[in-house]
Structure 1
Amino acid sequence: MSLLRKLFSDKSATGGATTQFQDSDSGNAAGPRDTPRRELVHVVLRDTMRRHGIPSDWIDCRVLSVVSRSSASGVHVTFIVRGGQDRLLAYVPAFQSSFWDAIRQFEPRARDWLFSLSWQFDGMARNPGMPDPASWTAASGAPAPVAPGPVPQDELQEDLQALFAIRDAVLRESPQAPNFEATQPLRREPPAGSSFDATQPLKR
């Protein structure tokens, strides 16, 4: 109990937390700044699920906008699994890696503002409980693969257009956006020592 009192007393003495949390649905100051980022997270999640054939109602997303003590704004993302928990659990690391690869294709600096990515499993009616401790070192069979589903081409095209639009909005708001110059035509210079005179007529 003394440790708990110390923790709470230290928290009250500091006068506030080092990070301000704001819900993604709130209308606070950090909300509008992170709106393109929240949209990017939702669109990339939906596209990643469709690409791997996961039903659209299995995974939901919650985005929490935050402002750190150094005034850096970003988001915390939680994937909420509402269906297929027993089948998706074994593929969480692979799905998470696929999501990161996809979002970095449209926003290479996503790691700078997407502070954390967590998972929440809801609706697990039948919980088998923890296994025997020795089972962690025993050989286990491969998990059942997730059945792929059809991917409509028109929906993929709409998602790609939305992703590029969101990416452009994020880059416009980023203070460290790269400054690219206009593309210039390639100029070929003759190699050194290869100066040729004008062609002269052949003298017989």
Structure 2
Amino acid sequence: MRQVFERLLGLKNKTADSPDSGPKPAPRTPAANTRDSQHTIEDNSDNGTRRQLVQMLLRDCLRRHGIAPDWVECQMLVVNSRSRGPGMYVRLVLRHWDTRLMTYAFAFQNELLAAITQFEPQSANWLHGISWEFKVGDSCPYPTMPDPAIWGPPALAAAAASTAAPAGLPAADIEDDVMRDLKDLQNMFAARDASIEQEAAAGAHTDFQPTQPSGLG
């Protein structure tokens, strides 16, 4: 893979092209030849070649989609996973905030991953994943979280609607069903509390405290 990529970039094998000008340096130990440090990537190592490949493909994706090349930076992280062994993570560093780029970030990530896989079919053996980091400075107009109401219905109601509502049911009907379920639950607790109070008034021992249901508003 390295030889193909070096030919693509126009890199030359200096050892093969230059005449023998004297004693050759002593070769590195096998451990240094076959495995990179987890904190550095040597230029002539397999991971160094992979870094060049990913950076080239990232620049190509940015160019083809008309995105400024300095908006996204590529960093390669060397890792050693217990489950997958040694490999690398691609970290895409966002240097400039743009709502359009955020909207299509997932699609951009998938396209970059597809380009890596197409060019280097063995990438699944060393590419452990892609992550994002935001270093947009003051270019992001949303430095703080908004009011919770921006997300729409409460999480509980939304979760119940997504799991229990039949397909195609109008949103108003979904909310009515959820509210009915909550009222039924409240009535059930109220009936239980009334039974506990009656038993306590009659002298029966109870370990339960009356339930305090939250409002439905």
Say which structure is richer in helix: 2
- TM-score, L = length of structure 1: 0.49
